Structure 1
Amino acid sequence: MEEIPRYLPSGQGQHVFVTIEKRGIPTYVAMRNFARALNINSRDVGCAGLKDAHAVTRQTLSLNLVNPDDVRALELPNIKILSVERHHNKLKTGHLAGNRFVIRVRDVNQSALPVAQAVIERLTQHGVPNFFGQQRFGYRHNTDKLGEALVRNDPVRFVAEYLGEPQPHEARHIFAARKLVDERRWEEALEAWPNELPDEKQAIAAILAANGELSAVFQPVNKKMKSLFVSAFQSRLFNALLAQRMEMDLLGVLQTGDVAYLHGKGAAFLVTDPAAEQPRADSFEISPSGPLFGPKTLRAQGEPGRREDAVLAASGLAAEDFTVAGLKIRGARRPYRFQIKQPNIWWDDGLMVSFELQPGAYATTVMAEIMKPDR
Structure 2
Amino acid sequence: MSVSGTGDWPLAWGTPVGTARIAVSPEDFQVDERLGFAPTGDGPHLLVRIRKRGLTTQQAVQQLAGQWQVERRAMGYAGRKDRQAVTTQWLSVPWPVNAPLAPLGRLVDQDGQALDVIDVQRHRRKLPVGALTGNRFTLTLRDVDAAPRDIAARLVTIARHGVPNYFGGQRFGRHGQNLDRALNWLAGGERPRSRNDRSMLISAARSAMFNAVLARRIDAGDWSQPRPGDLLVLDGRGSLFAAEAAETAFNRRRAAGLRIHPTGPLPGATNRRQPQTAALIERESAVLQDWAAVIQALADQRVTADRRALRLSVGALAGWRMAPGTWRLRFELTRGAYATMVIRELVEAVND
> For this structure pair, what is the TM-score category when the shorter chain's length is used for normalisation?
0.7 to 0.9
Q: 1:341 aligns with which of 284, 295, 315?
A: 315
Q: 2:141 aligns with which of 105, 108, 122?
A: 105
Q: 1:224 aligns with which of 168, 181, 196?
A: 196
Q: CA deviation at 1:39?
A: 4.8
> 1:69 maps to which residue?
102
> 1:27 maps to which residue?
57
Give distance in 1, aligned partners of 2:128 and 2:183. Answer: 25
Segments of structure 2 that go 5 or more residues without pairing to the other structure are: 1-30
AA paired with 2:297?
Answer: D
AA paired with 1:6?
Answer: G
Give distance in 1, aligned partners of 2:147 and 2:37. Answer: 38
Q: CA deviation at 1:150?
A: 4.3
In structure 2, the CA distance between the partners of 1:12 and 1:48, relative to structure 1 (3 Å rule), is same
In structure 2, the CA distance between the partners of 1:286 and 1:293, relative to structure 1 (3 Å rule), is same
Q: Is contact 1:113-1:346 (8 Å) kept?
A: no
Q: Is contact 2:51-2:118 (8 Å) kept?
A: yes
Give distance in 2, aligned partners of 1:153 and 1:354. Answer: 45
In structure 2, the CA distance between the partners of 1:125 and 1:70, relative to structure 1 (3 Å rule), is closer
TM-score, normalised relative to structure 2: 0.78
Q: 1:83 aligns with which of 119, 124, 145?
A: 119
- Relative contact order: is structure 1 or structure 2 higher (C-alpha 8 Å, sep ≥ 6)? 2
Q: Is contact 1:241-1:307 (8 Å) kept?
A: no
Q: CA deviation at 1:275?
A: 4.0
> 2:225 maps to which residue?
253
Q: Deviations over 1:281-301 (max 9, x none)?
A: 222221111011121443654
Q: CA deviation at 1:239?
A: 0.8
| Identity value in percent | 32
Q: Is contact 1:10-1:88 (8 Å) kept?
A: yes
1:96 correspondence with 2:132: yes
Q: CA deviation at 1:100?
A: 0.7
Q: Deviations over 1:38-88 (max 9, x none)?
A: 454443121111112222111111122366438867424142222222211
Higher share in helix: 1
1:283 correspondence with 2:257: yes
Q: Is contact 1:261-1:333 (8 Å) kept?
A: no
1:313 correspondence with 2:293: no
> 1:199 maps to which residue?
none
Show the 5 A alignment for 1:156-235.
158=191, 218=192, 221=194, 223-235=195-207
> 1:200 maps to which residue?
none
Give distance in 2, aligned partners of 1:8 and 1:147. Answer: 38
Segments of structure 1 that go 5 or more residues without pairing to the other structure are: 159-217
In structure 2, the CA distance between the partners of 1:300 and 1:144, relative to structure 1 (3 Å rule), is farther
Give distance in 2, aligned partners of 1:372 and 1:300. Answer: 37
Give distance in 1, aligned partners of 2:298 and 2:252. Answer: 33
AA paired with 2:315?
Answer: K
Give distance in 2, aligned partners of 1:117 and 1:235. Answer: 31
TM-score, normalised relative to structure 1: 0.73
In structure 2, the CA distance between the partners of 1:136 and 1:37, relative to structure 1 (3 Å rule), is farther
> 2:178 maps to which residue?
143
Give distance in 2, aligned partners of 1:34 and 1:153. Answer: 38
Q: Is contact 1:148-1:230 (8 Å) kept?
A: no
Q: CA deviation at 1:309?
A: 1.2
> 1:294 maps to which residue?
268
Aligned positions, number: 307
Q: Is contact 1:255-1:304 (8 Å) kept?
A: no
